Amino acid sequence: MLRKALEHNKRQGDDVAIEDLAWIPGGTFRMGSDHHYPEEAPSHLVSVDGFWIDRTPVTNRQFKEFVNATGYVTTAQTVPNPKDYPGALKKMLYAGSLVFSPPQRITDSRDWSQWWSFMKGANWRHPYGPKSNLRELDDHPVVHVSYADALAYAIWAGKDLPTEAEWKFAARGGLEGKEFAWGDALAPGGRHMANVWQGNFPVQNLCEDGFERTSPVNAFTPNGYGVYDMIGNVWEWTSDWWSARHEAVAQKACCIPRNPRSGQENASYDPTLPNVKIPRKVLKGGSHLCAPNYCRRYRPAARHAEPVDTSTSHVGFRCVVRKMGVDDRLEVKARLA
């Protein structure tokens, strides 16, 4: 499918329309945090070159254009290969995706299976199950996309997926050292700045921000770079492999990482599932399901691991365009081999 996306690439070479992109000037900034979840530490300096980024997450309308042009079939629409899931019952291997369903009550807040279910027939066209559709959701972010799905779209569009460092720098919007993408208060003056959960997750959603699930991608104020939805609404894929912690802090200014690509594939596996060797990538931004009482990952520094074969009703993506050299283009093509 990735090869097919390249064959149908609608913007060859450097001929990429930038009217829907925001220019991020690049620079040196502090990545990570020493004050929240352990995987965010240590806080450290990195540098990124300037790049363009989609002003919004990729929408259902945009993804539909891609599918119509290429005939692409997403991971959620494909029956899993039994070889990838040793020990799984055959009757449990069907095309579907994870859908959030709020329970009336829970018995253990650590048991996410009480509010997540792998639903047959759930995919990007049917975000809440086979009986749902995209009516009135054209401007909402596409969901139920795996890493391969996101990468295929990016290649077709003549773009790429952002690194974790690029994503965080863009999310900051020019601010440094602030808790959120807009300052230090989650809802300054009572104004909701992003689509996140209000109430007692997962049983009570007060919808004070106006949305129970996803929201239109431009529903909230953009950040200082003119980029929307970097916080909340949907988690977003990056190209970096997951690591349990950031790399050690550089001891000298000359050693500050430039355009880092962190993590290693063979180190990204979930240690709690030793028999399942499915690598994981870094997600950024949090989603409409992040809540103060459960998951405070609606911050630029926050990060989350996601298996590359997994899709859910709260994960989407956006793309970047770099001033790519020959080596970078070869790297993108190598991923298709």
Which tokens is 280 given?
């994981």
Q: What is the pLDDT of residue 10?
A: 56
Q: How confident is the model at residue 37 (pLDDT cuts 50, 70, 90)?
A: very high
Q: Per residue in 301-311, pLDDT tens?
A: 999 999 999 99
Strands (E), the chain: 21-24, 27-31, 44-48, 51-54, 96-100, 116-120, 235-241, 280-284, 304-307, 315-316, 320-322
Averaged pLDDT for residues 24-32: 94
Tally Cβ neighbours within 10 Å of residue 218: 13
Handedness of CA 146, 151, 154, 160 (dihedral sign): positive
Q: What is the pLDDT of residue 262?
A: 82
Q: What is the pLDDT of residue 69?
A: 97
Q: What is the pLDDT of residue 315?
A: 98
Averaged pLDDT of the chain: 90
Handedness of CA 312, 318, 323, 329 (dihedral sign): positive
Q: Reply yes or no on whether the pLDDT at 12 is more than 50.
A: no
Q: What is the pLDDT of residue 19?
A: 75
Q: How confident is the model at residue 251 (pLDDT cuts 50, 70, 90)?
A: low
Q: What is the pLDDT of residue 158?
A: 95
Q: What is the pLDDT of residue 334?
A: 60
In this prediction the pTM is 0.90
Backbone phi and psi for residue 119, each to the nearest 5 degrees, phi listed first: -100, 125
Q: Per residue in 94-150, pLDDT tens?
A: 999 999 999 989 888 888 999 999 999 999 999 999 999 999 999 999 999 999 999
Q: Per residue in 151-209, pLDDT tens?
A: 999 999 999 999 999 999 999 999 998 999 999 999 999 999 999 999 999 999 999 99
Strand partners, 307: 280
